[in-house]
Structure 1
Amino acid sequence: MIDWPAFFVVLVSTLVSACLVVTFYSVGLRLLDTGHGWRRPAGIACFTICALVVLYGVYLVIPYFHQ
């Protein structure tokens, strides 16, 4: 039997995470494109957030990391 509430939790969290990564990546690209003053460190911070979200997703998927 399918656990529908758990399925919808996974569905919503996946959509939110994907939108978060795409948004921060595109903002990071935009900030690095102009690249003057405070925009370069902010762009690098956006890429760092993207990397952390992806690494957290990998951590959740691989059971070896959280036994």
Structure 2
Amino acid sequence: MIDWGAFLVVAAASLVATAAVVSLYSFGLRFRFLSRIDATTGESSRPAWATVLSYLCFVLSGCAVLFGIYLIVPFFHS
């Protein structure tokens, strides 16, 4: 017999986790390529806070992926 309640919990958790990892990675890309043009020189530059946030988003999304692999592979937690 299928436990539909548990199935729905797993489906919802998978959907939320997928959305979180994809969002973190896409925010990381957005912050990585965020630039502004200096009015005096005309050169493009990226703010320091954008660089820090992009690396933070990439690290968090990588940690989420590694944690998912840890949960899937029984060798790591048996």
Shorter-chain-normalised TM-score: which range?
over 0.9
1:4 equivalent in structure 2: 4
**TM-score, normalization: structure 1?**
0.93
Cα deviation for residue 48 of structure 1 reads 0.4
Asked if residue 42 in structure 1 is aligned to residue 17 in structure 2, the reply is no
Aligned equivalents of 1:66, 1:49: Cα separation in 2: 21
Number of aligned positions between the proteins: 67
RMSD: 0.9
Structure showing greater radius of gyration is 2
Higher helix share: 1
Unmatched segments (≥5 aa) in structure 1: none
**TM-score, normalization: structure 2?**
0.81
1:59 equivalent in structure 2: 70
Misfit runs of 4+, over 3 Å:
none
Unmatched segments (≥5 aa) in structure 2: 35-45
Identity %: 42
